[in-house]
Structure 1
Amino acid sequence: MERLFGTDGVRGVANIKLTPELALKVARAGGYFLGKDTERPTFVLGRDTRCSGDMIKGAVIAGLCSIGGDVIDVGILPTPGIAYLTKRLKATGGVVISASHNPIVDNGIKFFDSNGFKLSDDMEDAIERLTKEEKDLPRPIGADIGRVKRLDDAGDMYAKYLMSQVGIKLDGIRVVLDCAYGASYSIAPYIYRALGAEVISINDDPVGEKINVNCGSTHPEVIKEKTREYQGSIGISFDGDSDRVILVDEEGNILDGDHILAILGIELSKKNLLKNNVVVGTVLSNIGLEKALSKYGIRLLRAQVGDRYVLEEMFRSDAVIGGEPSGHIIYLPSVTTGDGIFTSLMTIKILKEANKPLSSFKGIMIRYPQISENIKVKDKFGIMTTKDMKSLIEEVNNIIGNKGRCIIRPSGTEDYLRVTLEGEDEGFIKELLKDIRKRIEEIDNAYF
């Protein structure tokens, strides 16, 4: 059986790869692992708006209750809200049913520990072993079977917390929100209006058939175009579970996670709030981010792709902020995982305090040309171990030298190799990517 856990939990096409039967097994294994030292474990459970959400939720609830765990059902809520409530309610763990930015046919299951942090590789490995071994896990009966409780004010609790962390009114600011038909559909507009901002909200219905479809943070052109309709506005685009965000300034410039991280890191440093003068990015973070931070004496540390790997590096280096180009930003004094709403609020607070438009920060980072492509392969892990693939990577690195970077890695959530090239000459790296794609397809056909 292939590995269940990817870079962000267990994901797959709902009812094909992620079946209710598998969801039940994963929930039983995860519930047991997280709650084995607790007499009566409690789990906070929430989801995004996907059509398969109810089906997977039913299986997960059954799994958790069947090992004696009580469930606090918070309904549709952003992933970071579930992380916050897990810690706030002193639960044993949190469970999110979401495939984040993935297509609507996918769904996923990810866990948080009692402090609202994603699990380490070792912890996920342990849950995976329990799932696959189908070991005899507890089967309580009678009153010892878990119960389910609905928490109707979960959204209010999360919203009030975020507003308390911002501590500033947003009067005079107009925002255009793209909620991607996802988990932020109601709570993001509510928070911004409660803080005094004028809000134009699009794709803000909980329609699972449309989640992430030509909208949200993976389609920034949508929020860019909408922001142009309202001069002087700030565009804010979330993904399906609102753990990432992309911004658009009033001139129509798109600011991805690297650009946002540059703004936040530099401003925190100016206020002596950037511990150890370190910011954590990933191997995919643009060279431009590294150069922008270095002007202020800030070091960029690179982790593996995945916000939980960013978090692990933040713990190792005692950093307070880290993130990914996709818009996952973690600011540990306030949140335990990527939080799109909080990140947008934190950025706008800087603008409000400085009395500057977002466009005034567009030159803080010069982005080097970077192109990426997903290449379908039969065995994304196996191909990376072949002699020909190792030879290809070495050859490409020799061609690029110190004028750019090449990253070839298995996708953590889909059956692709993700190839990313970065360099000064965009035309050159585009031609190089064509050659790489051809070589990878040849290697894939030869070995598998």
Structure 2
Amino acid sequence: MGRYFGTDGFRGEANNNLTADHAYKIGRFLGWYYGEIKRQNGDDTPARIVIGKDTRRSSYMFEYTLVGGLVASGADAYLLHVTTTPSVAYVARTDEFDCGIMISASHNPYYDNGIKLINGNGEKMDEGTITLVEDYLDGKLEVFWEKYEEIPFAHTSKIGRTVDYVSGRNRYIGYLISLGLYSFKGVKVGLDCANGSSWNLAKSVFDALGAKTYVINAEPDGTNINNNAGSTHIGGLQKFVAENGLDVGFAYDGDADRCLCVDEKGNLIDGDAILYIYGKYMKERGKLENNTVVTTVMSNFGLYKAFDEAGIDYAKTAVGDKYVYEYMTNNGCILGGEQSGHIIFSKYASTGDGILTSLKMMEVMMARKKKMSELMEGLHIYPQVLENVRVTDKKAAQDDADVQSAVRAVTEALGDTGRILVRESGTEPLLRVMVEAETEEICKKYVDQVVDVVKKKGYVIG
């Protein structure tokens, strides 16, 4: 993990540990770097970089400062305005941009923000380029066989320009609609847009495919993104679906790269269940490449037992859709994802895409002519308790000998009836302690046992 960029971009509280100056410098570097690569290859045209943002109040500030840096370095900045992370990835790939930038802190509260970098293939940026960005932020850049105390500004006609590129976002909406294999006519669908990026996209897609669409949390005001809304607060959608007699519901996070589902009874269908439903659907049709679904270490015991029963192989990666995608690419897999709702359908997208995920789940419902609850048959999810512990130093807390000893004790006690997983958050100062076991009481007991040790060793904040 880098000095500034974690597993999902450069994230922090706006104007505290992620400032407008950071954004300007990131723009300065990227505009110059991609332009210099072109020049060294004999191409004198400016770098082309596409930018999207979510609905946070600070997203406008970061957009303007990023653009200032980009054009000052000679790049042309194309603005998608408020849009989803997967739309930026789609446009970067299909319109041959040098790179893409998404301004979002995903599921975090409104006062946080983030800068996600996407390469020209629509994938998360490689570590080598991210390291160069971090080196420039730290004033120790060495690239193209030279050391730079500062990078040059563009002058006269070489100064970059901004381009309103809302047409790119509209083409992305058209692409999603084109993936609908079935009419949704007569299906009552609930959407929770988290007052985020999907607020002006998702409904238009479902309406175009014929659904009777009901939407909640689609009135962003700059400070209500993810506030008791979206995939991290699924209870609102569960209640909405059940009370209004809807057939299914889909909840997105702030930048709509995640999706969780709710069945017609108001029950949660999480990322593991989505992988099971779609993996089984592909297996039955003979279209599951390598007969493998890619998961992370956070996926539930029950998912693996269900895959075994269905004759489906699986792989486990580190937490982060970046690692899921890397494994999929390297091993020819077409389906993978996380329990949190980051689901990757590599035939259609290069990143997790919440709206696409909801369309693929609708496809299974329509093809099988079954309710969402019926598609869950064969999957039994083990109880799981996850506690996020805010700590002073997450690495030191995880590596502490006494904490490690407590984890080993729980592992021995559970044997083959469950498991414990302790890991650092990739984006926040958190230690995540998770236990799966036969009952929730057992899970809670062992989570508390480890958290108590973390507290006694003085790592916990507050």
Residue of structure 2 equivalent to 1:266: 280
Matched, 1:385 2:376: no
Residue of structure 2 equivalent to 1:11: 11
Return closer, same or farther for 1:35/1:351 CA change in 2, 3 Å cut-off: farther
Secondary structure in 2 aligned to 1:107? Answer: strand
Post-superposition shift, 1:168?
A: 2.5
Task: State the alpha-carbon separation in 2 of the partners of residues 350 and 36 from structure 1.
Answer: 47
Post-superposition shift, 1:362?
A: 2.4
Q: Is the 8 A contact 1:93 1:114 kept in 2?
A: yes
Task: State the alpha-carbon separation in 1 of the partners of residues 290 and 76 from structure 2.
Answer: 41
Return closer, same or farther for 1:264/1:378 CA change in 2, 3 Å cut-off: same
Instruction: Give 2:311's match in structure 1, choosing from 297, 313, 327.
Output: 297
Post-superposition shift, 1:70?
A: 0.9
Q: How does 1:41-440 map to 2 (within 5 A)?
A: 41-133=47-139, 135=141, 136-440=150-454
Which has the higher mean CA deviation after the structures are superposed, 338-347 or 290-299? Answer: 290-299
Task: State the alpha-carbon separation in 1 of the partners of residues 36 and 319 from structure 2.
Answer: 30
Runs (5+) with no aligned partner, structure 1: none
Aligned length: 446
What amino acid is the match of 1:254? Answer: L
Cα shift readout 1:29-55 (whole Å, capped 9, x = no counterpart): 344445541242111100000010111
Which has the higher mean CA deviation after the structures are superposed, 306-315 or 137-146? Answer: 137-146
Return closer, same or farther for 1:177/1:349 CA change in 2, 3 Å cut-off: same
Task: State the alpha-carbon separation in 2 of the partners of residues 190 and 58 from structure 1.
Answer: 28
Runs (5+) with no aligned partner, structure 2: 40-45, 142-149
Using structure 1 for the length normalisation, give the TM-score: 0.96
Return closer, same or farther for 1:444/1:7 CA change in 2, 3 Å cut-off: farther
Question: Aligned-pair RMSD on alpha carbons?
Answer: 1.7
Cα shift readout 1:175-227 (whole Å, capped 9, x = no counterpart): 01111101100110011001110011111123221100001000111000000
Using structure 2 for the length normalisation, give the TM-score: 0.93
Which has the higher mean CA deviation after the structures are superposed, 375-384 or 15-24? Answer: 375-384
Identity %: 37
Return closer, same or farther for 1:389/1:290 CA change in 2, 3 Å cut-off: same
Which has the higher mean CA deviation after the structures are superposed, 209-218 or 142-151? Answer: 142-151
Residue of structure 1 equivalent to 2:147: none
What amino acid is the match of 1:263? Answer: I
What amino acid is the match of 1:56? Answer: F
Return closer, same or farther for 1:123/1:296 CA change in 2, 3 Å cut-off: farther
Post-superposition shift, 1:113?
A: 0.5
Post-superposition shift, 1:119?
A: 1.8
Which has the higher mean CA deviation after the structures are superposed, 355-364 or 366-375? Answer: 355-364
Task: State the alpha-carbon separation in 1 of the partners of residues 65 and 101 from structure 2.
Answer: 12
Return closer, same or farther for 1:445/1:273 CA change in 2, 3 Å cut-off: closer
Q: Is the 8 A contact 1:87 1:116 kept in 2?
A: yes
